């Protein structure tokens, strides 16, 4: 396949039954339709890839003059979500061509890149999985982090010490999920496992480089 990825939107989770009657929990992703905005080649850019955009309900009216020029050159309306995916050398894709969910087939292995759910400010137990202290007998040390460094020397906290802080809301990658079903008519992919982000979150689906070779 010429293109190794597509942009999608997380729909939610459900379960499907295999022909053997086994229940498989899956995440449904609306993958595409996408349009090629720009093509990059090894001769000109040093690598082979395509920039694709997710087709929305309406054109992006906030696109600046530079972005509009790029879209006009491709002959398509401005789009809000743009991402770059790898492409095979010598592929015949050109700006304006469609990229649909049928770039993947059942039993393909994919990696999902998205933004995880933001949890806000969390303590060390929730953020790093610390055990915490005793819950009874007046310990007064239930969810505290414990010692964070020596006192006499160097009398400071070392950089990188695990502490409380903001949890989630950053880029996350789930590797090596299996495509259980492809619904090309409705642009849906059924993936075996969790996908980062909340419902309607934008994700990037790429062919996995972590799949074990048979």
Query: Domains in the chain, please, with CATH?
Result: 5-119+172-207 (2.40.30.10), 123-167 (no CATH)
What is the C-alpha to C-alpha distance for residues 185 and 167, in angstroms, rounded to an integer? 38
Q: Which backbone phi and psi does 94 adopt, to 5 degrees?
A: -140, 160
Q: What is the pTM of this model?
A: 0.81
Q: 98-99 and 188-191 as β-strands: parallel, antiparallel, unpaired?
A: unpaired
The tens place of each residue's pLDDT in the chain, 214 residues long, gives 478 889 999 999 999 888 888 898 999 999 878 888 888 888 888 888 888 888 877 777 788 888 888 888 888 888 888 888 888 887 778 888 888 888 888 888 999 999 999 999 999 999 999 998 898 999 889 999 988 988 888 889 999 999 999 999 999 999 999 999 898 889 899 999 889 999 999 999 999 887 665 4
Under a CB-based contact definition with an 8 Å cutoff, are residues 53 and 79 in contact?
yes
Under a CB-based contact definition with an 8 Å cutoff, are residues 4 and 86 in contact?
yes
Cβ within 8 Å of residue 20, ≥6 positions away: none
Instruction: Write out the two tokens for 139.
Output: 């310990």
């Amino acid at each position: 396949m010429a293109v190794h990825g597509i942009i999608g939107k997380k729909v939610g989770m459900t379960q499907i039954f295999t022909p053997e009657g086994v229940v498989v929990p899956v995440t449904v992703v609306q993958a595409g339709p996408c349009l090629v905005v720009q093509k990059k080649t090894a001769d000109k850019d040093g690598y082979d890839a395509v920039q694709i955009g997710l087709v929305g309900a309406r054109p992006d009216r906030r696109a600046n003059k530079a972005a509009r020029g790029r879209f006009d050159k491709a002959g398509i309306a401005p789009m809000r979500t743009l991402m770059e995916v790898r492409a095979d050398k010598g592929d015949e894709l050109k700006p304006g061509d469609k990229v649909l969910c049928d770039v993947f087939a059942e039993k393909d292995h994919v990696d999902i890149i998205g933004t995880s759910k933001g949890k806000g400010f969390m303590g060390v137990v929730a953020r790093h999985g610390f055990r915490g202290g005793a819950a009874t007998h007046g310990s007064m040390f239930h969810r505290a982090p414990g010692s964070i460094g020596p006192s006499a020397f160097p009398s400071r906290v070392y950089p990188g010490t695990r502490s409380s802080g903001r949890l989630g809301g950053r880029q996350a990658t789930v590797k090596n999920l299996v495509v259980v079903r492809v619904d090309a008519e409705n642009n849906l992919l059924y993936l075996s496992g969790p996908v980062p982000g909340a419902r309607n979150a934008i994700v990037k689906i790429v062919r996995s480089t972590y799949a074990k070779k048979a």
